[in-house]
Amino acid sequence: MIKKTTVDLGNRSYEILIGENILDDAGSHIRGLLNRARTLIVTDENVAQHQLFRLEASLAAEKISFETIILPAGERTKSIGHLETLLEAMLKTNLERDDMIIALGGGVIGDLVGFAASIYLRGIGFIQVPTTLLAQVDSSVGGKTGVNSPQGKNLIGSFHQPRLVIIDITTLETLDPRHIVSGYAEIVKYGLINDPKFFEWLEKNGSNLISGSKETRLNLRSEAILKSCEAKSAIVAKDEKETGARALLNLGHTFGHALEAENGYDEGLLHGEAVAMGIILAFQLSERMAICPPGDLHRVQNHFEQTSVPLLSSFSFTLERLLQHMTKDKKMADGKLTFVIASGIGKSYLSRDVDMKDVKAVLELGLKG
Amino acid sequence: MIKKTTVDLGNRSYEILIGENILDDAGSHIRGLLNRARTLIVTDENVAQHQLFRLEASLAAEKISFETIILPAGERTKSIGHLETLLEAMLKTNLERDDMIIALGGGVIGDLVGFAASIYLRGIGFIQVPTTLLAQVDSSVGGKTGVNSPQGKNLIGSFHQPRLVIIDITTLETLDPRHIVSGYAEIVKYGLINDPKFFEWLEKNGSNLISGSKETRLNLRSEAILKSCEAKSAIVAKDEKETGARALLNLGHTFGHALEAENGYDEGLLHGEAVAMGIILAFQLSERMAICPPGDLHRVQNHFEQTSVPLLSSFSFTLERLLQHMTKDKKMADGKLTFVIASGIGKSYLSRDVDMKDVKAVLELGLKG
């Protein structure tokens, strides 16, 4: 059974399809969107090993001809250098204005391919086929694309919505458990932003979603992914370019980005792990500001502890360096940082009125453990 | 006296200001658009010599602090390499989301800066201060931005509208006469697309516009620039992303781009010269197809001859190479080329029904002279 939801953006609206083994039918979902039966698949070495043959077979079954580019796996691929490689390949494939390309992989591939699509011939279409939990519940939806630069993550990029998102939950079966936990943090985030009932559901079902028996985890994951995509779609439909409400999706990210940056964006700290740590810090900050009740903070902390999120004190970060990263965040405007603050579970809001003393205090406590 | 026109694009509308010496008041026009009194000027070595001090003084007078980047002059600067240099400089200047940058120069600078603005932090604002006739009547208006690649011109880019266009006609006084003639071809184009009265006006006033006495040429230029900006604005407002009518602005460009490409985009054949030659070819093609009356073709040819546009036969191009370039044009869709055809002066329309035999015949005749 395929679950569906729509990102409602007028003539740029698109569907998100969620199901078991729909990767094997991807061709039939894609065919109707193509102007001619020709495309380019972009993926990485890891995904190529586990999933590429499935997508290729489904395209072949629909008589869609394709070429495939396999890029190195990992965050370093999200660079201007690899963007150039990809654009070069697109030019050589003679892709035309009405053609589309397919991103098969995690957030790195999705962000890079989306960005390349947005600037190739001033913009062509692309299709997201996310294969990690993080990409399925967050980065593949909403049209944020981009690459990293030495100065920070996603500083170069664009808003460019995909034409279709195909989410096959069976692709998660080959993932390392840490990557499941990492994606799970972004799922929890939706509950914490504005859906306390969803957070309650996760308190009850989270551990089975992460590591229950196969049938149980597949069912719970498909339900949580749909819920997450619906939550993100609703926010994106209201504020595509992040002039307001969309910034709520950055809950935990101002802290999280600083942690990732200080760790050099390597596999030692995954994005979702950093976000989970950042969400805890954001709730600690909110509690310290006497905005969030201590009980809600504890529920958040307990829930993440159960999913074995790393402790800030287990890294040898320094306060000074973390603060430096935070003040370089692109969410900075007019010299001030914007934080997502919570007055409780499911009650988040944006604030530009946070005292940096409180930010420091919360970080200091976390670093000491 | 400042002439004004507006590009009407909803909440992305912007003004075009045209006047004598308004560069010296640029700061006062810009100040109100800035979120904080800080900006970055991007220009090239030639323009830096003649005009930069004027812009800098006008910003200083308004207490707007700025940094300046001076790039090499010439088409080669419109590359991914220079794009990276510029983005790097923007990151180092710590430009924030609500900041803007200023493009001071010709089409190369405007296209590069606009593209950089469109992808820096997923898009910041920019201001066009075009200093060549070509940029003033064409490239600074309408939001087409981009860079070239080894495969062709403008293959990588985006649609990103400026927030303001400031056109000072006195900047044309330091231009080489060939560059005036080059820009003039794009002015003539607007008459030929859909304004036969404007073409008549140009038949009468063109030579004075190009090389009349100072007062005469300044007056005629400012009138023709306003008319051109109005014509382009009207088309862009109807079809920003070039899904239809905007493609009329490509009159002469399918041929013109092939000529430029074959000449290696060097100074031996300027863009406007190639466009003028391309427009003649487009009218010859239309006449050959028995769509355009011979009399109209002759008026077009005569008019361009008076402005000393180069002859196709004076280049040692071959038919095969030109055809190769044309079939690589990004306006190609589904393997077919789109041409702008004219059923007379001021009566242009798009056609995907052109017989390549006619295209070949027209090119062959032109190459023989």
pLDDT in tens, A57-80: 999 999 999 999 999 999 899 999
Burial bucket for residue A334 (CB in 10 Å: 0-12, 13-18, 19+): exposed
Distance CA(B119)–CA(B138), nearest Å, equals: 22
Distance from CA of B95 to the nearest CA of A (A): 9
Distance separating alpha carbons of residues B108 and A315, to the nearest angstrom: 48
Residue of chain B whose Cα is closest to the Cα of A87:
B156
- Find the CB nearest B333 among A98, A122, A154: A98
CA gap B319, A178 in Å, rounded = 61
Rounded Cα distance, A201 and A272, in Å:
20
Which residues on B lie below 8 Å from A154 (Cβ)?
Answer: 122
Of these residues, A227, A232, A303, A331, which one is catalytic? A232
Residue from A118, A119, A120 to probe the interface with B (highest B Cβ count within 10 Å):
A119
Q: Provide CB contacts within 8 A for A16, sequence distance 6+.
A: A4, A5, A6, A7, A141, A165, A167, A229, A233
User: Tell me: the pLDDT tens digits for A121-163?
Assistant: 999 999 999 999 999 999 999 999 999 988 888 999 999 999 9
B303 is catalytic: no
**B297 touches B284 (CB < 8 A):** yes
- Supply φ then ψ for residue A306, to 5 degrees: -65, -25
Number of C-beta neighbours around residue A233 at 10 A: 21
Considering B11, B63, B122, B320, which one is annotated as catalytic? B122
Residue B144 is among the residues annotated as catalytic for this protein: yes
The reply to whether B43 touches chain A by the CB within 8 Å rule is no
Q: Round to whole Å and give the CA distance between B156 and B82.
A: 13
Q: Is residue B295 scored above 70 in pLDDT?
A: yes
Decide: B144 and B154 in contact? Cβ < 8 Å: yes
pLDDT category of residue B264 using cuts at 50, 70 and 90: confident
- Which residue from B minimizes the CA distance to A335? B96
Structure confidence at residue B369 as a pLDDT band (50, 70, 90):
confident
Cα B30 from Cα B33, distance rounded (Å)? 6
> pLDDT tens digit string along B142-197?
999 999 988 888 999 999 999 999 999 999 999 999 999 999 999 999 999 999 99
Which of B97, B122, B155 is facing A121, going by the closest CB pair? B155
B29 is catalytic: no
In A, residues 339-368, which contact B (CB 8 Å cutoff)? Answer: none
Q: What percentage of chain B has pLDDT greater than the value 70?
A: 98
Q: Among A37-51, A146-160, B43-57, which stretch is predicted with the lowest mean pLDDT? A: A146-160
Q: Which of residues 81-110 of A touch B (CB under 8 A)?
A: 84, 87-88, 91-92, 96-98
- Helix/strand number for chain B, H first, E second: 14, 11
Taking every pair of Cα atoms in chain B, the longest distance, rounded to a whole number of angstroms, is 61
Is B160 a catalytic site residue? no
Q: Is A298 a catalytic residue?
A: no
Could you tell me which residues are beta bridge partners of residue A331?
Answer: none
Question: What pLDDT score does B329 carry?
Answer: 67
| Tokens (6 digits) for A188 | 């929890």
Is there a contact between B88 and A149 if contact means CB atoms under 8 Å apart?
yes
pLDDT tens by residue, A197-256? 999 999 999 999 999 999 999 999 999 999 999 999 999 999 999 999 999 999 999 999
CB A350 within 8 Å of CB A340: yes
Is B21 tagged catalytic?
no
Cβ contacts below 8 Å, chain A against chain B, sum to: 82
| pLDDT at B334 > cutoff 80 | no
Interface of B with A in 113-172 (CB under 8 A): 115, 118-123, 144, 146, 149, 151, 154-159
- Give chain B positions within 8 Å (CB) of A87: 149, 156
**Where do we find the tokens 């009407």?**
B8
CA A173 to chain centre: 18
| pTM of the complete model | 0.94
Q: Which residues of A are less than 8 Å from B92 in CB distance?
A: 151
Average pLDDT over residues A349-359: 94
Identity at A131, one-letter amino acid code: T
Order of strands, edge to edge, in the sheet holding B65-71?
A: B3-7, B14-19, B164-168, B125-130, B100-105, B38-44, B65-71
Mark yes or no for CB contact A96/B330 under 8 Å: yes
In this prediction the ipTM stands at: 0.92
Q: Which residue has the tokens 């009547």?
A: B137
Q: Is the pLDDT of residue B330 over 70?
A: no
Distance from CA of A109 to the nearest CA of B (A): 17
Q: Determine the residue among B119, B336, B352 to mutate to test chain A binding: the one whose Cβ has the most chain A Cβ atoms within 10 Å.
A: B119
Q: Pick from B115, B159, B334: which is nearest to A98 by CB?
A: B334
Closest CA to A180 of A92, A79, A106: A106
Q: What is the pLDDT of residue B266?
A: 82
Is A35 within 8 Å of B158 when comparing Cβ atoms? Answer: no
Is A38 a residue of the active site? no
Read off φ and ψ for residue B38, nearest 5 degrees. -155, 135
**B262-288: average pLDDT:** 94
Amino acid in the structure at residue A110: G
B36 close to A (CB below 8 A): yes
Q: How far is the C-alpha of A139 from the C-alpha of A182, rounded, in Å?
A: 13
**Contact (CB, 8 A) for B167 and B16:** yes
Q: Is the pLDDT of residue A332 over 70?
A: no
Residue B335 has pLDDT above 70, yes or no: no
Task: Check whether A330 has a pLDDT greater than 70.
Answer: no
User: Are A109 and A119 spatial neighbours (Cβ–Cβ below 8 Å)?
Assistant: no
Q: What is the pLDDT of residue B1?
A: 87
**A179, A271, A303, A325: the active-site residue:** A271
Query: What average pLDDT is seen over chain A?
Result: 95
Cα(B73)–Cα(B127) distance, integer angstroms: 19
Instruction: Check residue A98 and give its pLDDT.
Output: 92
Judge: A120–B156 Cβ closer than 8 Å, yes or no.
yes
Domains of chain B plus CATH, in order, are 3-174 (3.40.50.1970), 182-368 (1.20.1090.10)
Q: What is the pLDDT of residues B93-105, one digit of tens each?
A: 999 999 999 999 9
The pLDDT, as a whole number, for residue A153 is 85
Average of per-residue pLDDT across A298-305: 97
CA–CA separation, A171 and A162 (whole Å): 20
A243 vs B328: CA distance, rounded Å:
39
